[in-house]
């Protein structure tokens, strides 16, 4: 075991995979010589050489397009979008090629690609550095979507993603990059500083995709969250003094529906929390699934606590986020319904 931030754990995961499999290659904008804008790939080019960790032109479409060709010929690309906000030029490649190549080729070709991207707000990045576009990928058949909430899961889930035979969208909450986020605060303490790191297993450690985990056991209400919002939900439950069960989904596709159903049938209530906008957010899918599978167990309407339905508001960033106060109110209202 070693103490690592999420950045260090992600770097360690790529290091482990590159050491075990010479077909794993890492590339993207500034990921080689500089080591990435967030330093997630720092030192990998020096260790494995410029043919396995290299810089690309500023062309997200080109990065993913090249990765498709590499994957079809047996390599395992792990590519970085510098920010999730920059992925849109590559969206056609992801939807039309990455997600469909196995189906279009009747299994003759696979696409074992991991597309890493920092997601979410909390670093004063404004509209073009703070978006949470997970629902754009969960909607696309053929893609797996992963969102870790801590360093250990970041490493284990990334290794599982790189070793997976199919494409994975790996969303990294940048508010968690430098250490566990203190969910009790509606405002940042020091978002760029190195906070307390988490314990991470050494070597090859794999966290299976499609398995949620209960972060806080409870019997009164189920809270479904992922990424940064797991920490907010934990803080809200503590502050509100409610016996809430907080489930960290970890992977959105494949989704651990069994864990969700078991919890909601036990508690009879459900609150869904995510940072992305409300309308057509992934929370809508979660609410629909809970309604379908737990209707006779529900004692109150399903609640959603999300970001606003607006372009990302830089000047009101910390009001836009679902903070512990907003989540706490939803918990109380759900209990009183």
Confidence of residue 128 (pLDDT cuts 50, 70, 90): confident
Residues belonging to the active site:
129
Distance CA 325, CA 33 (A): 43
Confidence of residue 31 (pLDDT cuts 50, 70, 90): very high
Residue 146: predicted pLDDT: 98
Tell which CATH architecture fits domain 213-336: 3-Layer(aba) Sandwich (3.40)
First to last CA, the chain: 45
**CATH class of this structure's domain 2-200:** alpha beta
Q: Identical fold at 2-200 and 213-336?
A: yes
Q: For the chain, what are the domain ranges?
A: 2-200, 213-336
Residue 188: predicted pLDDT: 45
pTM of the shown model:
0.94
| Residue 3 scores a pLDDT above 80 | yes
282-297 mean pLDDT: 98
Confidence of residue 185 (pLDDT cuts 50, 70, 90): low
pLDDT one-digit tens code per residue, 215-226: 999 999 999 999
Confidence of residue 192 (pLDDT cuts 50, 70, 90): very low
pLDDT one-digit tens code per residue, 163-183: 999 999 999 999 999 865 555
């Amino acid at each position: 075991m070693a103490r690592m931030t999420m950045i260090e754990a992600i770097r360690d995961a790529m290091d482990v995979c590159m050491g075990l499999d010479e077909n794993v290659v890492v590339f993207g904008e500034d990921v080689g010589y500089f080591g990435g804008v967030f330093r997630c790939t720092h030192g990998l080019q020096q260790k494995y050489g410029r043919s396995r960790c290299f810089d690309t032109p500023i062309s997200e479409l080109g990065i993913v397009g090249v990765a498709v060709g590499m994957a079809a010929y047996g390599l395992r690309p792990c590519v970085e979008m510098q920010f999730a906000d920059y992925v849109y030029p590559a969206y056609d490649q992801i939807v039309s090629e990455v997600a469909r190549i196995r189906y279009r080729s009747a299994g003759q070709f696979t696409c074992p690609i991991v597309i890493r991207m920092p997601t979410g707000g909390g670093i004063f990045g404004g509209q073009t550095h703070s978006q949470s576009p997970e629902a754009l990928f969960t909607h696309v058949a053929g893609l797996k979507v992963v969102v870790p909430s801590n360093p250990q899961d970041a490493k284990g889930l990334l290794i599982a993603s790189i070793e997976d035979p199919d494409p994975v969208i790996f969303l990294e909450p940048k508010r968690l990059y430098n250490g566990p986020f203190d969910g009790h605060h509606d405002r940042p303490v020091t978002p760029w500083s190195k906070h307390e790191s988490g314990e991470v297993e050494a070597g090859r450690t794999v966290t299976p995709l499609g398995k949620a985990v209960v972060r806080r056991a409870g019997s009164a209400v189920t809270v479904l969250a992922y990424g940064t919002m797991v920490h907010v939900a934990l803080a809200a439950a503590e502050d509100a003094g409610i016996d809430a069960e907080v489930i960290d989904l970890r992977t959105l596709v494949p989704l651990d529906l069994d864990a969700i159903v078991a919890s909601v049938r036990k508690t009879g209530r459900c609150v869904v929390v995510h940072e992305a906008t409300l309308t057509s957010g992934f929370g809508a899918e979660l609410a629909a699934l809970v309604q379908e599978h737990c209707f006779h167990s529900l004692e109150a309407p399903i609640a959603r606590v999300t970001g606003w339905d607006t372009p990302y508001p830089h000047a009101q960033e910390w009001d836009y986020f679902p903070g512990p106060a907003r989540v706490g109110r939803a918990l109380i209202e759900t209990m009183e319904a």
